[in-house]
Amino acid sequence: MNELFKIFISAMLIDNVVLIQFLALCPFIGMSTDVSKATGMGIATSFVMVLATAVTYPLYHFVLEPLGLTFLQTLTFILVIASLVQLVEFYLKKSAPALYSSMGVYLALITTNCAILAVTLNCISKQYSFVESIVYAVGSACGFLMALVLMSGIRERIKIAPIPSFLKGTPILFVAASLMSLAFGGFAGLIK
């Protein structure tokens, strides 16, 4: 149990997919305009991330590896992720049309979200068991959601702050993201 907790905390804080690995910056910047959008995008991405890990792990270990087709893992994982995103898109369109319309093109971008693919590939490369892979995916998903919500809160403060004209818009967002990244780098010594 202690090892699973370490994997979770490491994936969420120490090895955060956005702030430490610098993956999924497009939805991080694009969907963090307000807290509700960020939360919706984070939950949708988290759902796909965990589900993709749950599907790709057995697919890799029980199909690709025994057949000697491990070179197809990236292609196979992308197809699985794309299928899962379609399911999430259908669900959101039916159950939460306001969230579906506010996400716009970013919902389709979950398909090509490199963080989801990276998490599924990391589980294989780190040789995690199925349970460890799921814990790693949940930790990564929580870290992604936390980064989005924190950035959306920062952006709401930036709207009312006196920003120099040369930093207005995207530059100040990247300055804020880099400062968040430095802060998250402080968690590196948390787990040994």
Going by the DSSP 8-state scheme, the letter that residue 14 receives in this structure is I
∠ CA 96-46-79, rounded to 5°: 95
CA distance 142 to 150: 12
With a CB cutoff of 8 Å and minimum separation 6, the contacts of 126 are: 136
Residue 117's pLDDT is 93
The pLDDT assigned to 121 comes to 95
**78: number of CA atoms within 13 Å, CB side?**
7
The answer to which of 29-33, 42-46, 108-112, 130-134 has the lowest mean pLDDT is: 108-112
Asked if the model's pLDDT at residue 52 lies above 90, the reply is yes
Tokens for 59, please give them.
Answer: 């697919």
Residue 115, Cβ neighbours under 10 Å: how many? 26
Q: 21, 8, 24: which is closest to 128 by C-alpha?
A: 8
Q: Are 184 and 151 in contact (CB under 8 A)?
A: no
> With bands split at pLDDT 50, 70 and 90, how would you rate the model's confidence at 116?
very high
Joined tokens for residue 63? 């199909």
pLDDT confidence band for 43 (50 / 70 / 90): confident
Torsion sign (Cα): 163, 167, 170, 173: negative
Q: What is the pLDDT of residue 32?
A: 81
**Consecutive H or E run containing 124:** helix 114-125
What integer pLDDT is reported at residue 119 of this predicted model? 95
Residue 17 above 90 pLDDT?
yes
